[in-house]
Structure 1
Amino acid sequence: MPTHTRVRTRGSNQAGRAVALVADMLALVIVLWILLYLLDANQGNELVAFVHDAASWLAGWSYDLFTFSREWVQVVIGYGLAAVVYVLVGHAVAGWLYRR
């Protein structure tokens, strides 16, 4: 097998791993916020506020997609949908890169 093909495959594998890792990290931030919210974490705490701000930015497109009368359901579904989409899309792109 020619060397340039092996290098390109290795690069594709590394890119795929990087994409999957970033997608997982984004989803982790969102899931962490959901847990902090459900556990009634002190929103005056700097770490909690940082996680909330990051998750709100990441899930800005999905949070108000559906409305529910209970706030905890709104948080779980609104943020959870974003986390699931990041994982699914990120891993789909990573799988495509692996096959290149």
Structure 2
Amino acid sequence: MAVLADVLAFVIGLWILLYLLDANRGNALVDFVHDAATWLAGWSYDLFTFDREWVQVVVGYGLAAVVYLFIGHLVSGWLYRR
């Protein structure tokens, strides 16, 4: 469970990095990572609004990554103890 949470957070974190580095959105890998991260963070992206787009991306997607990590590791620890 923790590995799955790590992978989901990695995909979201990778999109944040690609966005901040202004990666070529025409590239198939960049497009795939963007689509996956958008699907994973669909619930959190518009939770808060900011004037600057880069802050919106970092907070909106970053919140989803942190929640996936927290819940995934919490559940994993709970299952491990059982």
Equivalent pairs counted in the alignment come to 82
Determine helix, strand or coil for the equivalent of 1:81: helix
Measure the CA separation in 2 of the matches of 1:79 and 1:68.
13
> Which residue matches 1:58?
40
Match status 1:84 vs 2:66: yes
List per-residue Cα deviations over 1:17-54 (Å, max 9, x = no partner).
xx000000000000000000000000000000000000
> Which residue matches 1:70?
52
The alignment's TM-score, normalised by the length of structure 1, stands at 0.82
Match of 2:15 among 12, 22, 33: 33
The alignment's TM-score, normalised by the length of structure 2, stands at 1.00
Runs of 4+ that moved beyond 2 A: none
Determine helix, strand or coil for the equivalent of 1:65: coil
Measure the CA separation in 2 of the matches of 1:56 and 1:32.
12
% identical aligned pairs: 79
User: Highest CA radius of gyration, 1 or 2?
Assistant: 1
Measure the CA separation in 1 of the matches of 2:11 and 2:52.
22
Gap runs ≥5 in structure 1: 1-18
> Which residue matches 2:31?
49
Q: Which amino acid aligns with 1:73?
A: V
Gap runs ≥5 in structure 2: none
